[in-house]
Structure 1
Amino acid sequence: MTAVVFIPARYASTRYPGKPLVELTGATGEKKSLIRRSWEAAKAVEGIDAVYVLTDDDRIRAASEAFGAEVIMTSSEARNGTERCAEGVAKLPDEPEIVVNLQGDAPLTPAWFVADLVAHMRANPGAQMATPVLPTEADTLANFVTDRKEGRVGGTTAVMRADGTAIYFSKEVLPYVGSLETPPKVWHHVGCYAYRPGALRAYAGWPEGPLEQAEGLEQLRFLENGWDVACVPVEGRGRVFWELNNPVDVERIESVLKKEGIA
């Protein structure tokens, strides 16, 4: 099955304007933009046929082309990355069988997360949409709880049925964490999705639902329209996964880049 990776990126982020062009310092002291680090993460995945940056902003287009990325320009009307992916797949000359949406604010996404997601889609032809989930490490869970206490929106958590399909996703910490000493198992939702092209076409035809609007989480539109979202557990292998959602996350991500020796 052919598989492509799309990296949706927009300049006008509500919480962090200009986020894709924010520079992050790696282990060698070299500064690279967030969008470049996300592209390099996508290029490291085996079994992917092509990687594209999707944007409606000429500043992001120019920066991406400067480091060698292929860019597909999409409209400014796309409300989220999934809608932007639906536009992007329609512009490809040949329709792939699997489309991966690697969020442009997740440069720490390990290659095996994406590979495991694509493998799940290839092994389960009936799956229309899937996303990785990761058991939270102690430090990550502490960051979740701290962010919410201080009024920031940090990462996203997932709650699943026994068969691995999603019940809900939230920017709150779910289930409730009464104590960090003896916390329940909390699943960190990884900002990455895989779809069949038909699922993207269906998604683009649905209006935003109240849960999606309340949480600001695009994947909830599938749940609100009765579609299953397969949650694919992945292994951290000691890598701390964190997204760049707020300015405070720059230091968190740079510390991981240095710890992991990522240039």
Structure 2
Amino acid sequence: MSGETLIVIPARYASQRYPGKPLAELHGATGKAKSLIERSWEAAKRVPSGNRIVVASDSEEILGAARAFGAEAIFTSSSCRNGTERCAELLDNLETEPDIVVNLQGDAPLIPDYFVESLIEAMRADDSIEVATPVVRCTRALYDKLVADEKKNIVGGTFGALSSAGNAHYFSKRIIPFFDADKADDDNLPVLLHVGLYAYRPSALRKYVASNPSKLELLEGLEQLRFLDIGVQIRTIEVASPEWEIWELNNPSDIPHIEESLKIMGLE
């Protein structure tokens, strides 16, 4: 399969934790300031197999800012509860339907292009895959930190439990699966951190929005659990960690961490 791949950058203005964050300025290696939404768009442009990139938002201010730096931007309604629903709504605004839709969330400008490319390659190689998402194997040092945080009731990431075929059994904000850490191989811990990046078939997106939010989706606050609840498999693709930390912009305090990673990446 080698049809069109559409990369969608869903962005909303009315974030509860950080209103207007897509317009927040981030300084790169040269000190140049660019908005979060522009840096996310630039991350999408670095993906070799992305044929088309669209910013999807319910905010005219965000859409205007995106068009000002050269992005294609399309209005989607404020009734969208998450990025997956926004990607699904966007399909109805397109003249031609893509073969693959990538959800590159607008608050994660540090996603490496090879993360996205690995999902696209997997779906082009196997047309039975309806949804794909990346996971990164946890190091011992990070695992120990996450365990300590969890004991303090601090949520430090999302984790996936997988089948032998690589399909997701479940995702949780608690560390899963349980194992005897004292007997584990430090270089091959069975803990996989989920990265909030998705590739979908249009048919999977339509199944998603035809269903109500699931009980587990609402409890965990993880949109992907609706797919599992309605019987849509999610193929996980293990990818190598980049040299920089992948921080999402959820609060103003995240900005210095993101800017440090931008410098490591050498982005202006």
Please, what TM-score do these two structures have when normalized by structure 2?
0.89
Distance 1:23 1:146, change over 3 A: farther
Find out whether 1:55 has 2:57 as its counterpart: yes
Find out whether 1:81 has 2:86 as its counterpart: no
Match for residue 121 of structure 1?
123
> Which of 235, 258, 267 is residue 262 of structure 1 equivalent to?
267
Contact in 2 for aligned 1:134/1:188 (Cα 8 Å): yes
Matches of 2:107 and 2:226 in 1, distance apart? Answer: 21
Distance 1:178 1:256, change over 3 A: farther
Q: Which amino acid aligns with 1:208?
A: P
The CA deviation at 1:139 is 6.6
Matches of 1:105 and 1:130 in 2, distance apart? Answer: 19
Deviations 1:24-72 (A, max 9, x none): 1111111111111111000110021100000001111111111111111
Superposed CA RMSD in Å reads 2.2
Matches of 2:21 and 2:144 in 1, distance apart? Answer: 24
The CA deviation at 1:253 is 1.4
Aligned length: 262
> Which of 214, 218, 227 is residue 223 of structure 2 equivalent to?
218
> Which of 10, 13, 27 is residue 11 of structure 1 equivalent to?
13
Matches of 2:16 and 2:180 in 1, distance apart? Answer: 31
**Bigger radius of gyration among the two:** 2
The answer for unaligned runs of 5 or more in structure 1 is none
The answer for unaligned runs of 5 or more in structure 2 is none
The 3-state SS of whatever aligns with 1:72 is: strand
> Which of 216, 219, 233 is residue 228 of structure 1 equivalent to?
233
Percent identity of paired positions between Structure 1 and Structure 2: 50
The CA deviation at 1:124 is 0.7
Please, what TM-score do these two structures have when normalized by structure 1?
0.91
The 3-state SS of whatever aligns with 1:62 is: helix
The 3-state SS of whatever aligns with 2:267 is: coil
Matches of 2:256 and 2:179 in 1, distance apart? Answer: 25
Contact in 2 for aligned 1:102/1:193 (Cα 8 Å): yes
The CA deviation at 1:191 is 1.5
Match for residue 36 of structure 2?
34
Matches of 2:141 and 2:19 in 1, distance apart? Answer: 27
1:61-210 to 2 correspondence within 5 Å? 61-137=63-139, 141=143, 144=146, 148=150, 153-175=155-177, 184-210=189-215
Contact in 1 for aligned 2:204/2:232 (Cα 8 Å): no
The CA deviation at 1:4 is 0.7
The CA deviation at 1:259 is 2.0
Contact in 2 for aligned 1:35/1:104 (Cα 8 Å): yes
Q: Which amino acid aligns with 1:14?
A: Q
Matches of 1:113 and 1:177 in 2, distance apart? Answer: 27
Find out whether 1:238 has 2:234 as its counterpart: no
Contact in 2 for aligned 1:153/1:245 (Cα 8 Å): no
Matches of 1:193 and 1:36 in 2, distance apart? Answer: 20
Moved over 4 A (4+): 137-154, 176-180
Contact in 2 for aligned 1:155/1:242 (Cα 8 Å): no
Matches of 1:139 and 1:102 in 2, distance apart? Answer: 28
Contact in 1 for aligned 2:23/2:35 (Cα 8 Å): yes
Matches of 2:230 and 2:77 in 1, distance apart? Answer: 24
> Which of 228, 250, 254 is residue 249 of structure 1 equivalent to?
254
Matches of 2:88 and 2:156 in 1, distance apart? Answer: 26
Contact in 1 for aligned 2:43/2:111 (Cα 8 Å): yes
Contact in 1 for aligned 2:112/2:242 (Cα 8 Å): no
Matches of 1:255 and 1:137 in 2, distance apart? Answer: 21
The 3-state SS of whatever aligns with 1:167 is: strand
